[in-house]
Amino acid sequence: MDSRLTVAKRELAGLRAEKTILLAIGIQLFIAAFSSFLVVGLVSMYDPGALDGAEVEVAGAGDAVADLERAADEVTGASVTRYESASDARAAFDRNAADAVVVATRDDRGGITASVTAPDATVETTVIVVQLRDLLRTYERTERESRSSWLSEQPLPLPDRTGTSPYFTFTYTILIPVLVFLPVFISGSLVVDSITEEIDEGTLELLRVAPVTIGEILDGKALAAVAIAPGQALLWLLLLEANGTSVANVGTILALMTALTTLVVAVAAGIAAVAPDRRAAQFLYSIAVLVLFGGATAMAGGPTNAVARLAIDSADLATTITVAVYALLAAVAYLGVRRFVTENGISG
């Protein structure tokens, strides 16, 4: 065990020379430390409709514009000014008296057609389009409710209105999983760089001369890479807590990300063992990680979903099973790679 710890300490000491890794850690530290400030700007990109105080003036025209005006009363930040004709409404838009144009007209069958004109690729376009979306959705709900008694068949129901805060959704489904999983990717990259660099510089042969086996060398490198990941994640979560973002089940989250780190480190070590060229190994590692995490994220019980559920303390038995399954996969993967490296060595 002493030889493994020696290799691990050597790996950790060498991290000071990895400027790219240190920069990535520094960026994560900045995000976690100032999350309460950054989350407002980040949410504006994730969900522009979450911005408070956005006012949109809509020029309305057509014989169905009265209902559009009533719908605007229910949408915060949206107002409709009626014009006599569509041409007058568009003229107001052209002279910047309105942010958008909606022409609502009834057809012979009683249906309503809404023609929308919005700015083309300006800074305000996204916010305007989001407000128009909310206005038209409210308009649709109003029309459905007023016509429901006349329908012989009910149309497909609209999604229920939800009061979920976009800040809550962004923090627990995007920000926390990103801060938890980025150290996982960094640890795998460290292993790839460490093994391929040892081969390039010829120091791997010197290690083989020492009283340490190739399996112990791999154990030491993996131990260092796996050990730093939960430490980073714990620091990020503590900083989030200090910024007012409560995170539940921290221990279980760290257990899950440690299992995933071990799994990724095993993949990275296997790739570096069979493809010792640094660029090729990093490329293959990147592809492998994208495939693994992309496939896992696509599943309903993937690691991202599990972390989000654990963080908001809504985990169930399936979440606990997910953590156990990833721990088992990590152990099997690492032992398999270690056995392969021990029997076949690392090609140089």
Q: What is the pLDDT of residue 40?
A: 45
Distances (CA, A) of 196 to 107, 130, 188, 270, 280: 70, 49, 13, 11, 10
* pLDDT grade for 335, boundaries at 50, 70 and 90: very high
Q: Which residue has the higher pLDDT, 83 or 13?
A: 83
Q: What is the pLDDT of residue 151?
A: 63
Q: What is the pLDDT of residue 164?
A: 53
In a domain, 218, yes or no: yes
Do 19 and 100 belong to one domain? no
Do 84 and 183 belong to one domain? no
In a domain, 332, yes or no: yes
Does the pLDDT of residue 222 top 80, yes or no?
A: yes
- For the stretch 168-177, pLDDT in tens is 677 777 778 8
Do 277 and 185 belong to one domain? yes
Q: What is the pLDDT of residue 259?
A: 93
Rounded CA-CA distance 166/47 in Å is 7
Rounded CA-CA distance 20/227 in Å is 19
Hey, what are 80's tokens? Answer: 């409709």
Query: How many domains is the chain partitioned into structurally?
Result: 2
* pLDDT grade for 35, boundaries at 50, 70 and 90: low
In a domain, 56, yes or no: yes
Do 171 and 144 belong to one domain? no
Looking at 124, 150, 176, which one is the last position of a domain?
150
Instruction: With residue 102 as reference, give the H or E element that holds it.
Output: strand 100-106
Helix axes 250-274, 214-242, angle to 10 degrees: 140
Nearest to residue 175, comparing CAs of 320, 23, 30? 30
Does the pLDDT of residue 91 top 80, yes or no?
A: yes
42 alpha carbon, distance to own chain's centre: 11
Does the pLDDT of residue 52 top 60, yes or no?
A: no
Lookup result for tokens 């985990």: 315
Rounded CA-CA distance 101/83 in Å is 10
**CATH number where 103 lies:** 3.40.190.10
Q: What is the pLDDT of residue 186?
A: 85
Inter-residue contact 240 to 35 (CB < 8 Å): yes
Q: What is the pLDDT of residue 342?
A: 83
Name the percent of the chain lying above pLDDT 90: 8
Q: Which residue has the higher pLDDT, 15 or 218?
A: 218
Do 273 and 212 belong to one domain? yes
Q: Which residue has the higher pLDDT, 160 or 46?
A: 160
In a domain, 44, yes or no: no
Do 190 and 309 belong to one domain? yes
Residue 118, CB-side half-sphere exposure with 13 Å CA sphere = 16
Do 131 and 242 belong to one domain? no
Do 217 and 92 belong to one domain? no
Do 105 and 247 belong to one domain? no
Burial class of residue 202 (count of CB atoms within 10 Å of its CB; 0-12, 13-18, 19+): exposed
Rounded CA-CA distance 236/338 in Å is 31
* pLDDT grade for 157, boundaries at 50, 70 and 90: low
In a domain, 160, yes or no: no
281 alpha carbon, distance to own chain's centre: 25
In a domain, 141, yes or no: yes
pTM: 0.64
Inter-residue contact 180 to 173 (CB < 8 Å): no
Cross-strand partners of 117: 101
Q: What is the pLDDT of residue 347?
A: 58
Range of the domain at 127: 49-150
